[in-house]
A = this chain, B = another copy of it.
Amino acid sequence: MDYSKFSKQELEEMLKIAQKELSKIGKRGISVDMSRGRPANDQFETVMPMLEDAAAYNYTLGGADARNYGGLGGIRQARELFGELLGLRAENVIVGDGSSLDLMYTAVAFAMQFGLRGETPWKDLNKVKFVCPAPGYDRHFAICEEFGIEMITVPMLEDGPDMDTVESLVEDDPSIKGIWCVPKYSNPTGIVYSDKVVERLATMKTAAKDFRIFWDNSYVIHGLYDNNDKLKNIFDVARKAGTFDRIYTFTSTSKITFAGAGVACMGASEENLVEFLKHLSIREICPNKVNQVMHVAFLKNVDNIKKIMAEHAKLLRPKFELVISRLTAEFAGDDFVKWTNPRGGYFISLDVRRCAKRIIELAKTVGVVFTPAGSTFPYHIDDGDSNIRIAPSVPSLEELSNAIDVLILAIKIARIELVLKKLYE
């Protein structure tokens, strides 16, 4: 829709109608939270059998009782299972408590405080920088902010970060110590890194010896469709290139079993894990291995996890498709409104130029909450004020339908306001 072809009066009339419609919807008393990538509660029902059998599992593993202290890196069986999921040997995996974010934060905290593999602790350097492909995951950026790590925003493209920019940055600047990546069903754009991008990340020259790729593979098996997309195994490339030490990978079962109450893991070279565990051993004696036994007994293997994820996809797919189909019906061919059509993960990324903040604000007035504008960018700075992250997983289809009504109206209102401002102020 090209609003600029309308007269001021026409625009004001259209604005009034849209505002009236919005306030009418507001009277439905809706309350829909689409701000975070949370599972819907009905997804958890598919996992309750894990708890039903909880007392019957075998907690004695290779002579050790999983109910007792010990085993800082997690139980062997869990390391094997995550290894299978991530394409790593069990030796390259440690399994912790529920939060992969904790493991990522902790990896940064250890590097800050103690340094990595004999290099200077980051806290003792004048400047530490991370490359942050954006739009990206706000909690990654929050870790950088917390530790005073300078973020360099790099555009996220259809096949991953803009590698020309990434390569030239990390080759020249030894203060760049890391990059955040959600390589599969990226948060929020849903893209999967291409083989070429994976290869370039694994093989690029880095000025910093202690450069780390934070390979947050949160959505490793979280496809919405049967033919799950394939991500090239970065560790295979890195092993050949001699850069295995460069990569830390992470994932968890937060969106497979229970959110925050699952099991999380970190994958890395054995030398990196030895160093990580040395520091971790000061912080804790061992993770919750009872939970690990429960998970391994219930999840069994990757084929079985796929079956569970197919159940989740059955619940999630209609929600994604509802949003996409409504946006398509309303805005297809409209250059002003762009959205992603992800094949997995938890987000739809919407771009509405120079209107994101206003749209989110308008939606909020009638009870529909999106992630705050700017959240998907370092320092919350979205130069184009365009990106809105939609998390359609939690609401019911009915709630979602209401929320999309609101979203569409909010987009219209914000755009008309923008044109009125531009042309007539």
Contact = CB atoms under 8 A, between A and B. Distances in A.
A58 interface: no
B55 A282 contact: no
Contact of A291 (B99, B146, B288): B288
Interface string A71-112: 000000000000000000000000001110110011001001
The residue among A47, A139, A288, A290 with the most chain B CB atoms within 10 A of its own CB is A290
A55 B48 contact: yes
Nearest to A37: B69
A404 to B, nearest CB: 23
Contacts of A51: 54-55, 290
Chain A interface size band reads 35 or more
A203 to B, nearest CB: 32
A317 to B, nearest CB: 20
Interface string A30-66: 0000001011010010011101101100010000011
A67 B55 contact: no
Interface string A102-139: 10011001001100000000010000000000000001
B287 A260 contact: yes
B52 A65 contact: no
A290 B44 CA distance: 11
A286 B289 CA distance: 18
A147 interface: yes
Interface of A: 36, 38-39, 41, 44, 47-49, 51-52, 54-55, 59, 65-70, 97-99, 101-102, 105-106, 109, 112-113, 123, 139, 142-143, 146-147, 254, 258-261, 279, 282-291
